[in-house]
Amino acid sequence: MRKVLLLGNPNVGKSAVFSRLTGIHVVAANYPGTTVEFTQGVMKVNNEEASLIDVPGTYGLEANCKAEEIALNMLKDGDLVINVVDATNLERNLHFTLHLLEQNIPVIVALNVWDDAKHKGITIDIKKMEELLGIPVVPTVAVTGEGIKELVSRISEAVIPKLVIRTEEQKWTEVGKIIDKIQSLKHRHHTFLEILGDASVNHVTGFPIAVLVMFSSFKIIRFIGEGLIGNFFEPFFNNLWQPLMVKLSGILTQGSFAHSIIIGKLINGEIDFVQSFGLLTTGIFVPIGMVLPYIFAFYLVLGFLEDFGYLPRLATLLDSLFHKMGLHGWAIIPNLLGLGCNVPGVMATRMLESRRERLIAATIISIGVPCLALQAMIFGLLGKYGGIYVGIVYFSLFITWIILGWILNITLKGESPSLIMEVPPYRLPSIQAVSKKLWMRIVGFLKEAIPIVLLGVLAINILYSLKIFNIIADFTSPVITNLLGLPKEAVSAIVIGFLRKDIAIGMLGTLSLNAKQLVVASTVLAMFFPCIATFVILFKELGIKDTLKSVLIMIISSLVVGSLLNMIL
């Protein structure tokens, strides 16, 4: 099978072109030995199947970063390159094209966002461009499919280029000459989306826009997530899955090892999908019935914001803040995902290149970014005492998130990366592209999350049977009472927080705590040891050494912040 590589700068519409060229069966994977992802699918070329690989976006082929190194390695095994070029930014894109012309591989150019170029008053002489580059050039609008059929039909015309320019200075000079000969501009007024795009990166207007976007996004996410849970997932588990589990429970001997592992313990004589902790009860319900609805809603909104072009602007706005924490602006993505569920948030730290960045990001997400289920319980428990108490919890988490990131940046060896990125124009997303990306992400989440949660539930059952949690509760009760000012009974809730933090918060409501104690307990629970699903994802992503570092930081931070809140309040 021929191997076709899709190459280009970041944010030129490669994913939209990929979506148009491939069917629904696509696979996302990490390049061997790295955390850099690429996507692979199948396309038809002259009635024959070819493997299409969406190579990570890069600005050059000098191997100055991991993405460039991977692009070079993939070129060695490729049979043909489709170079996706942004028609609205020819200078930067053609510089990369000239790099490709040196690689001794057939190349065809997809001159993408052709519609945006026309809207901006940019005219490009396609025939002249083909003549100067010596390769086929096809104008495309990937979000609508315009030009994609012609692109596929002309792939057979792709040839090994003859234009080879060895030095960087000569490349930039040649780019200038080519643009002078093929491109002309005429004056036009800015569109509403262009005005909005400029306002989104301006610090005066950008932050209010960011607040509005984030507030609206979480409203939509919560509406969709809760709607799916209430109208589909809970009825499915209660009406269809639970009767099956009741029958299976009757077959297995209650109290036996098999019953404890498969069904879990009965709560008041009944199966409780949250608290029973069996492989086929809690192990299935948590990732599918509780997490998946919010994952669906988050990835739907995230896909829209990605393809619309907002996320690069948000990353640019927040780059200075994240830089102080040893990260760059793109770290906002895993943090946003963590607000829905920490599991995909930690998984998304793969987009960060260094192990140091991933450790910092995963740790501050686990400590300072409460998941949506936990937030709902905090509002429900503290809201009746007044919004000020809810505000204290969120303010404490936010300040800890910033300070801890700053401390980790200082103490962990390594450098803070720079943010080098293209900020694309705003474009209305393609429903097909957003849907395909959503499907891929959900399938990827289920493949990774379900086995991990099942293993976690199995481990918890073993720890319970060995009375490990009782030992932990007895050992930590003096700390809970003296440092945090909480009654001994709160130990059980905090320990249960390792299993489900929202359930643990709910348990606090039965202890007759005052508003101050609830603030302390809620903050400590949010920051303390991660829930089991997040813990096993941390272990998978960071390895045992860095996971233990991260967990130790969480425990120390939660006790310090909890003690300070107890003293101040």
Are residues 257 and 174 part of one domain?
Answer: no
Question: Is the CB of residue 457 less than 8 Å from the CB of residue 282?
Answer: yes
Are residues 367 and 234 part of one domain?
Answer: yes
Considering only the C-alpha atoms of the chain, give the largest distance between any 2 of them, rounded to a whole number of Å. Answer: 82
For residue 482, the model assigns a pLDDT of 82
Question: Is the CB of residue 52 less than 8 Å from the CB of residue 21?
Answer: yes
For residue 506, the model assigns a pLDDT of 67
For residue 49, the model assigns a pLDDT of 85
Q: Give the domain-ending residue among 185, 219, 247.
A: 185
Question: Rounded to an integer, what distance in angstroms lies between the CA atom of residue 144 and that of residue 304?
Answer: 15
Question: Is the CB of residue 28 less than 8 Å from the CB of residue 106?
Answer: no
Residue 8 contacts by C-beta under 8 Å, 6 or more apart in sequence? 14, 57, 83, 84, 85, 86, 93, 96
Query: CB neighbours (10 Å) of residue 485?
Result: 20
Are residues 450 and 399 part of one domain?
Answer: yes
Are residues 400 and 529 part of one domain?
Answer: yes
CATH classification of the domain holding 22: 3.40.50.300
The long-range contacts involving 457-462, CB below 8 angstroms and separated by at least 24 positions, are: 457/277, 457/278, 457/279, 457/282, 457/283, 457/286, 457/532, 458/261, 458/279, 458/283, 459/532, 460/277, 460/499, 460/532, 461/260, 461/261, 461/264, 461/277, 461/278
For residue 36, the model assigns a pLDDT of 58
Are residues 171 and 284 part of one domain?
Answer: no
Are residues 508 and 439 part of one domain?
Answer: yes
The token pair at 212 is 């509005």
Are residues 144 and 278 part of one domain?
Answer: no
The residues with which 49 forms a beta bridge, in sequence order, are 44
The reply to whether 196 falls in a domain is no
Note the residue count of the chain.
569
The token pair at 152 is 């596929």
Concatenating the DSSP letter of every residue in 483-502 gives TT---TTHHHHHHHTTT-HH
The residues with which 80 forms a beta bridge, in sequence order, are 4
Are residues 516 and 412 part of one domain?
Answer: yes
For residue 34, the model assigns a pLDDT of 47
Question: Is the CB of residue 35 less than 8 Å from the CB of residue 108?
Answer: no
Sign of CA pseudo-dihedral 427, 432, 435, 437: negative
Are residues 170 and 219 part of one domain?
Answer: no
The reply to whether 193 falls in a domain is no
Within 13 Å and on the Cβ side, how many CA atoms surround 10? 14
**What are residue 456's phi and psi, to 5 degrees?**
-65, -45
The reply to whether 30 falls in a domain is yes
Rounded to the nearest 10 degrees, the angle between the axes of helix 355-368 and helix 332-340 is 30
In total, how many domains does the chain have? 2
For residue 399, the model assigns a pLDDT of 94
The long-range contacts involving 401-407, CB below 8 angstroms and separated by at least 24 positions, are: 401/364, 401/367, 401/368, 401/369, 402/321, 402/325, 404/363, 404/364, 404/367, 404/368, 404/553, 404/557, 405/322, 405/324, 405/325, 405/326, 405/327, 405/360, 405/364, 406/324, 406/325
DSSP helix/strand/coil, 370: coil
The reply to whether 560 falls in a domain is yes
The reply to whether 191 falls in a domain is no
The reply to whether 192 falls in a domain is no
The residues with which 82 forms a beta bridge, in sequence order, are 6, 108
Are residues 366 and 286 part of one domain?
Answer: yes
Are residues 448 and 538 part of one domain?
Answer: yes
Range of the domain at 252: 204-419+430-568
Per-residue pLDDT of the chain (569 residues; tens, 9 = 90+): 789 999 998 888 888 888 788 854 555 554 444 445 678 888 888 778 888 888 888 888 876 667 777 788 888 888 999 999 999 989 889 999 998 888 889 999 999 988 888 878 889 999 999 999 999 999 998 876 788 889 988 998 988 877 666 687 888 888 889 999 999 888 767 778 878 888 887 888 989 999 999 889 878 887 898 899 889 998 999 999 999 998 898 888 787 888 888 888 887 778 887 667 788 887 788 778 877 887 788 889 888 988 888 888 888 788 878 888 888 888 888 888 888 778 878 888 887 878 888 999 999 999 999 887 788 778 777 877 888 988 999 999 999 999 999 999 989 887 665 555 556 778 888 888 888 888 888 887 787 767 766 776 777 677 776 777 677 767 777 777 788 888 877 776 777 777 667 667 766 766 778 888 889 988 998 898 788 778 888 888 888 899 999 999 998 999 999 999 988 88
Are residues 178 and 237 part of one domain?
Answer: no
Question: Rounded to an integer, what distance in angstroms lies between the CA atom of residue 68 and that of residue 457?
Answer: 40
The reply to whether 129 falls in a domain is yes
Q: Which residue has the tokens 């909480």?
A: 486
Query: CB neighbours (10 Å) of residue 432?
Result: 15
Q: Give the domain-ending residue among 185, 215, 246.
A: 185
Could you tell me which of 525, 308, 256 has the C-alpha nearest to residue 433?
308
Question: Rounded to an integer, what distance in angstroms lies between the CA atom of residue 535 and that of residue 348?
Answer: 15
Locate all alpha helices (DSSP H) within 386-486, ordered by sequence.
Answer: 387-411, 431-465, 468-482
